[in-house]
Amino acid sequence: MKQVVEIQTMLQQQLKLIYLQKQGIVQAFGVFIDTLVICSATAFIVLLAPESSIQGLSGMALFQAAMNYHLGSFGAPFVVILMFFFCVSTILAVAFLW
């Protein structure tokens, strides 16, 4: 009977380890996506906008002005939609990890 309890404990610990490994993979993938894809795309959007349309701006106003240059009047609402989905995906990722 003692061996059965030890085996069950060992299996439970293994399952916890697998879950922790899954959490680590999800976190690493999230950092990869955030840093390489989202930040790089934002930088390229701002860099490809002419200086006259973004001069004197910083932060979110700079990004919205760059998006307005590239997408016209749909630029600023598109940024709001992007931020909404980014927030929802972050909330879902945190819910998945708990």
Q: What is the pLDDT of residues 36-68, one digit of tens each?
A: 888 898 899 999 999 999 999 999 899 999 999
Instruction: Report d(CA 83, CA 22) in Å as an integer.
Output: 26
- Measured from the Cβ of residue 49, the count of other Cβ atoms closer than 10 Å reads 19
pLDDT of residue 46: 94
pLDDT for 67: 93
Statement: residue 1 has pLDDT above 50: no
pLDDT at 10 over 60: no
Is 84's pLDDT higher than 60?
Answer: yes
**pLDDT of 77 higher than 70:** yes
Structural tokens at position 81: 């939609």
